[in-house]
Chains A and B, each alone.
Chain A
Amino acid sequence: MTKHHTDVAVTSGGIASVVDANERGPCGRAWLFWVVWIALPLGCAIVGYSYYNAARHPDSWHYHIFWIGMLTFMLPAGARLLSADPSRGERLQITAAFGLFAFVPKFLRDPSGPLWYDELAHWTQAQAIHAHRALFQPNPIEPIIQKFPGLEAVTDALRELSGASTFAAGSTLIALLHLSALLGVFFIAERLWDSPRIGGVAAIVYACNPGFILFDSQFAYESLGIVFFIWSVAAVVGIWASKRSPGGWTAAGVLIIAAVAPTHHISSYVTAGVLTVAALFALARRQGRDDARNARYGAALATLAVATAAAWLLVVASSTIAYLSPHVSGGISQTFHLIFQPSARRQLFQASTLPVYERASAFLAPLVAGAAVAVGLISLRRRASVPPALLALSVLGLAYFPALPFFLSRAGNEGARRSLDFSYLGVAVLGAAALVRLATWSSHRGRATMLTGCAIAVAGVILLTGNIASGFDEEYRFPGPYVYGSDTRSQTAESRGMVNWFLTTQGPNQHVVVDRYNGMLLASFGHQLTVTPSPAFPAWNLYFDSASPALSLLRQLRDSRDNYLVIDERMAQKLPRIGFYFVPNEPLAGIRLKPLSSRALDRYVSLPWARDIYSSDTLKIYRLDFSAISLSGGANGG
């Protein structure tokens, strides 16, 4: 007699009950075990080679090599997780390896130090906290970071306890958080569907989200905040799945939820929202003593999440409202505006160098996700009892779709992209159930088994390539030649040399008027206080106008002790790659057709109050001497 055993301990009438460990499904082969683990180092080597190739040969081969490397590991790993063969322990091992593997591309993008804009801002913050031995240091690159010191606090502790540099401590932390994030998703899906098979598949579906492989691998507060979010949800799921008193998960949940609010604004708000919805569902459907007890614990955690997020916002970080509101209100108004005026739409992949298959996948990925979520929802309806957290995550997963139109608006694009990192948890939990259902259905159906396996593999590749393509341009993803006005390709030996010279000869904490790209380096590696222009302080006019600077602006510069001006001659040669020279709300941002006038930049040579102190091939530094100019009144004082 054949011994049939399900790979689940408890089933609630859900689809896991039909998942039989003896049914192999389309991908169940024992040799896949060896393929997965041989493919892991091989995939790392090929991905590494794609970066080597990109740095030396600026053609498009690095894209193809990159994807060959990624899929070398991801396809067999995904197939193994989808099959019914592996034990829970093996699924966890593959998921952990998947988490670490997903960190490799960002790490190899530039293993020498922080590179991306957010990374530089957080690295600068961590350095400042270490130097001053106190949290809440002002940040010249991204001022809001000052109010959310969670990531920097952890990094500083690691740095002090290990002797590692900020970059090494931060990279190790983010790598391990990547692993923890996927294991957290595994736990959530496993408990909600009572199946480790669905848990593993949910983890890899989540890893395909637009931010996980690159954006959430950078040293930035969201990379920690999203892990806290995932494990807060895991705590609620753990409470709900507890057969005895859920004290352990409650204690873990309290600690994690308390740490979200000081770490990342959006993570804390999404955590509060999801936990509240789960608690409401739980309170509404109490069916027994255990349910009532678990609902109370879940409600307590939700209350804590709302209270800490609200308290932090009101007491510590009230500037978050001003920081986030333009993205929210601007995104909503622009998106609705686009409905009536389609010609104003942001052109997706305008002047993009991404391969055609990536761009096509970017448009297909939401369709694949939509199909997976739809089948997942059908599976949900067939369950006799749906855990409240699964209902809450379904709501979160459905939030993925209304976010998509925001990609078409300039103001809403950034926020929409970031929201997907959260909503994809719901997509992953529902989509994984759909994939396992499909794999189970196709098992023992001859050719259908093979076809289903291929279809799932193609869908997975579309999700992965499409989501990455929708989030990042070539400059962010690959090393290569200098690109003016790119956050990641505008760091040159020349600009680093200027920064070192400035720090050595002029000292730290000098107020400098500088463009965004050189300013990132001056503020981070140079420890300088760079100016952030705004309509109230239009320092951009020092570069944009060929006429004399307004006396009012010069007075502002004098009063704020902005004693240095950095001119990059390339500002007069090229348009910035990301559309602006200083800040996104500067005049003509994104629509400028010609670079700045060289007359506007060259005029400082003959201005008596601008003293040339440094000059390299393309960079000039002027020391501003306001004693050489009268700033009292005048016709130009407006």
Chain B
Amino acid sequence: MGVDPSPPRVAVERTPRRPRPWGSTVALFAGACMLTGTTLGPVSLITTALGLVLALTVPGLALISAMPDQEFTRSPLMTVALSVVLSAAFYVLALLGLDALGIGLSREAILIVTEAGIALSCGWSLATRRPPLLPDVRLRRPPTKSLVPLVSMAAAAAVVFSMVGLTSESPAPYQAMYATGPAAAGLTLNVVKGRSQLGLAVANHTSGRRAYRLTGALATGARWSPLQIEVPKGATWSGSLAGPVPASRCRARLEVDLQDASTGRVLTQLSVWVGTAARSPSLHGHPVPASHSVTSPDGANYCA
């Protein structure tokens, strides 16, 4: 008896090919276009909020759409959560890639690499006939009940944003005095015909208009005529304080007091150096003791 060499026939049932996920792809493409719009268009509160949401989800959703066996798409919330994580991972790797290639992280470069990632993912999803994103999304609850969490979260967000201004503490008042002109750069004030002038600014950051008195006194004893100023709340006064500088072989320290005009209380002090350079043999880096003087390498002689 001859043996039939042909193998037994098995009926092969071909499974129907999965349709291409055109719906997901068109939705992702629309998301990518909107992202381009929010990136390149005029900036407003709405475009910024929309841009943030799209930038945090669309790249991740595109990556999910390209992945095989998308069992995580069983729940829309879980898909969104994973899309945020995948979007973040995508940006980390994409920007590292751009940086490694020496491409500056400009708006255009980031947009191009993001759109390219979305396009490649969508293309791969179409080519490999991946299942569509969120195939089983159905409203299984009555509409009212399914809307409750959304309404509650929106109300919570409204409550939180309405409290933004209320939770910060009120700023403590203060006033500041600073040098302008050469003294602001740390330079010594020049003496011209026995007088010198210090550029000053006084900023009032208290709760109301304040009257101040500016006094200047040289460490060598000479006093400059005081100046009375009024500075409105939140404003800065600019001007100068001038006075005589007795002839001396050394640079003198000028102490300027900012006083409360009504009480005479010293609010803050500024000290600058006034005078001309003079040669002296000693060199130290120590504080200047009273009745002594030191000379720096620039040849200046400092006296207390």
Residues of A within 8 A of B (CB): 33-34, 37-38, 40-41, 43-45, 48-49, 51-52, 55-56, 87-90, 92-94, 96-97, 100-101, 104, 107-112, 129-130, 133-136, 149-150, 153-154, 156-158, 160-164, 168-169, 172-173, 176-177, 179-180, 183-184, 186-187, 224, 227-228, 231, 238, 242, 244-249, 251-252, 255-256, 258-259, 262-263, 479-482, 492-494, 497-498, 501, 505, 548-549, 551, 554, 603, 605-609, 611-619, 623-625, 627-631, 634, 636
Q: Convert B224-251 into 0s and 1s, putting 1 for each residue whose CB lies closer than 8 angstroms to a CB of A.
A: 0000000000000000000000000001
The answer, yes or no, to whether B191 is at the interface (CB within 8 Å) is no
Q: Find out whether the CB atom of B110 lies under 8 angstroms from the CB atom of A45.
A: no
Chain A nearest CB from B304 CB (Å) reads 7
In the bound complex, residues from chain B placing their C-beta under 8 Å from that of A157 are: 55, 91, 94-95, 110, 114
Contacts of A88 in B (CB 8 A): 75
Q: How far apart are the CA atoms of A97 and B185 in the complex, in Å?
A: 55
A258 touches which one: B39, B93, B183 (CB < 8 A)? Answer: B93
CA distance in complex: A45, B155 (Å): 10
Write out, one digit per residue, whether chain B residues 66-102 have a CB within 8 A of any chain A CB (1) or not (0): 1111111001011001101110111111111001000
Chain B 259-282 interface mask (CB, 8 Å, partner A; 1/0)? 000000001111111000000000
User: Smallest distance from the beta carbon of B268 to chain A beta carbons, Å?
Assistant: 5
Chain A residues closer than 8 Å to B15, beta-carbon distance: none
Task: Please tell me if B297 contacts chain A, counting CB pairs below 8 Å.
Answer: yes
Residue of A nearest to B203 (CB): A497
- Is B296 a contact partner of A248 (Cβ separation < 8 A)? no
In the complex with contacts A111-B168, A224-B88, A255-B86, A615-B177 CB distance below 8 A: yes
- Whether A482 lies near B92 (C-beta < 8 A) is no
Which B residues are CB-close (under 8 A) to A624? 186
Complexed CA–CA distance, A177 and B88 (Å): 9
Contacting pair B175 A97 (CB below 8 A): no
How far is it, in angstroms, between the C-alpha of A108 and the C-alpha of B168 when the chains are bound? Answer: 8
Contact B152 A37 (CB under 8 A): yes
Is the CB–CB distance between A44 and B81 below 8 Å?
no
The 29 listed contacts between A and B (C-beta, < 8 Å) are A37-B152, A40-B156, A41-B155, A44-B163, A49-B163, A107-B160, A109-B167, A129-B105, A149-B96, A153-B91, A157-B110, A157-B114, A160-B111, A161-B51, A177-B85, A252-B64, A252-B72, A255-B63, A259-B89, A259-B92, A259-B93, A263-B92, A607-B288, A616-B174, A617-B174, A629-B284, A629-B285, A630-B283, A636-B285
B296 touches A628 (CB 8 A): yes
Question: A429 to chain B: closest CB distance in Å?
Answer: 17
Given contacts A245-B69, A255-B90, A548-B285, contact A173 B167 (CB under 8 A): no
Q: Which residues of A contact B72 (CB under 8 A)?
A: 187, 238, 248-249, 252
**Is A164 a contact partner of B178 (Cβ separation < 8 A)?**
no
A219 and B88 alpha carbons, distance in the complex (Å): 14
Q: A56: which B residues are within 8 A, CB to CB?
A: 169
Provide the bound-state CA to CA distance between A618 and B177, in Å: 11
Assess A41 versus B152: contact at CB under 8 Å? Given A617-B174, A628-B296, A630-B284: yes
Chain B positions within 8 Å of A100 at CB level: 153, 156
**At the interface, yes or no: B184 with Cβ under 8 Å from chain A?**
yes
Q: Report the nearest A residue to B111, measured CB to CB.
A: A161
CA distance A256 to B205 in the complex (A): 49
Chain A residue with minimal CB distance to B286?
Answer: A548
Greatest chain B CB density within 10 A among A90, A136, A157, A611 is at A157
Give the chain A neighbours of B158 by CB distance below 8 A: 41
State whether B205 touches A494 (Cβ < 8 A). yes
**Residues B99 and A136 in contact, CB atoms below 8 Å apart:** yes
Q: Give the docked Cα–Cα distance between A429 and B270 (Å).
A: 62
Q: Is the CB of A133 within 8 A of B105?
A: yes
Q: Known: A157-B95, A160-B39. Contact between A245 and B68, CB under 8 A?
A: yes
A156 touches B71 (CB 8 A): no
- Contact for B104 among A110, A134, A256, A623, CB less than 8 A: A134
B96 touching A615 by the CB < 8 A rule? no
Contact A498:B176 (CB < 8 A) given known A41-B159, A110-B168, A492-B171? yes
Which 4 residue pairs of A and B lie closest in terms of their CB atoms, listed nearest first?
A162-B51, A623-B186, A493-B171, A48-B163
- Beyond A44-B159, A157-B94, A162-B50, 5 additional contacts (C-beta under 8 Å) are A179-B84, A611-B272, A614-B178, A628-B297, A630-B284
B184–A613 CB distance below 8 A? yes
B1 on the A face (CB < 8 A): no
Q: Which chain B residue shows the least CB distance to A183? A: B81
Set A55, A161, A179: member contacting B167, Cβ < 8 A: A55
> Could you tell me which residues of chain B, from 97 to 134, have a CB within 8 Å of some CB in chain A?
99, 104-107, 110-111, 114
Distance between Cα atoms of A96 and B72 in the complex (Å): 16
Q: Once the chains bind, are A262 and B296 in contact (CB under 8 Å)?
A: no
Min CB–CB distance A111 → chain B (angstroms): 4
Assembled-state Cα–Cα distance A611/B285 (Å):
14
Which residues of chain A have C-beta atoms less than 8 A from B49's C-beta? Answer: 162
B186 touches A613 (CB 8 A): yes
> Chain A's nearest CB lies how many Å from the CB of B30?
16
Interface string of B170-206 (1 = CB under 8 A from A): 1111111111000111110000000000000001010
Which of B49, B89, B302 has the most chain A CB atoms closer than 10 A to its own CB? B89
Q: Which residues of chain A have C-beta atoms less than 8 A from B218's C-beta? A: none
CA distance A256 to B95 in the complex (A): 15
B238: min CB distance to chain A, Å: 12
Are the C-beta atoms of B174 and A112 separated by less than 8 Å? Answer: no
What 0/1 readout, one digit per residue, does chain B (29-51) give for beta carbons within 8 Å of chain A?
A: 00000010011000100011111
Q: Tell me the complex Cα distance, A110–B166, Å.
A: 10
Q: What are the residues of chain B within 8 A of A177 when measuring CB–CB? A: 84-85, 88
Residues of chain B with a CB closer than 8 A to A163's CB: 38-39, 43, 47-48, 51
Report whether A164 and B253 are in contact in the complex, using a CB–CB cutoff of 8 Å: no
B4 CB–A CB distance under 8 Å: no
Which of B55, B269, B285 has the most A CB atoms < 10 Å from its CB? B285
Complex Cα–Cα for A168 and B56 (A): 13
Quick check: B85 and A256 within 8 Å, CB to CB?
yes
Are A617 and B267 in contact, CB atoms less than 8 angstroms apart?
yes
List A contacts of B43 (CB < 8 A): 163
A44 cross-chain contacts in B, Cβ below 8 A: 156, 159-160, 163
Q: In angstroms, how far is the closest chain B Cβ from the Cβ of A205?
A: 18
**Knowing A259-B93, A630-B283 touch, does A248 contact B268 (C-beta < 8 A)?**
no
Asked if B294 is at the interface of the complex by the 8 Å CB criterion, the answer is yes
Given contacts A41-B152, A104-B160, contact A112 B300 (CB under 8 A): no
B10: Cβ under 8 A from any A Cβ? no
Candidates A156, A258, A480; contact of B105 at CB < 8 Å: A156
B298 interface contact, C-beta 8 A: yes
Report whether B110 and A156 are in contact in the complex, using a CB–CB cutoff of 8 Å: yes
Alpha-carbon gap, A387 to B288, bound state (A): 76
Max count, chain B CB within 10 A of own CB: residue among A41, A109, A505: A41
- Smallest Cβ-Cβ distance to A94: which chain B residue: B149
Q: How far is the CA of A6 from the CA of B122 in the complex (A)?
A: 38
A164 to chain B, nearest CB (A): 5
In angstroms, Cα B48 to Cα A100, docked, is 20
Known: A160-B39, A161-B51, A184-B85. A134 touches B99 (CB 8 A): yes
Known pairs A153-B91, A158-B52; A252 contacts B86 (CB<8 A): yes
Q: How far is the CA of A361 from the CA of B96 in the complex (A)?
A: 44
In this complex, what residue of B is CB-closest to A108?
Answer: B167
Report whether A40 and B38 are in contact in the complex, using a CB–CB cutoff of 8 Å.
Answer: no
B69 touches A258 (CB 8 A): no
A615 and B85: CB pair below 8 A? no
Contact of B270 among A41, A231, A238, A612 (CB under 8 A): A612
Interfacial chain A residues near B171, Cβ < 8 Å: 492-493
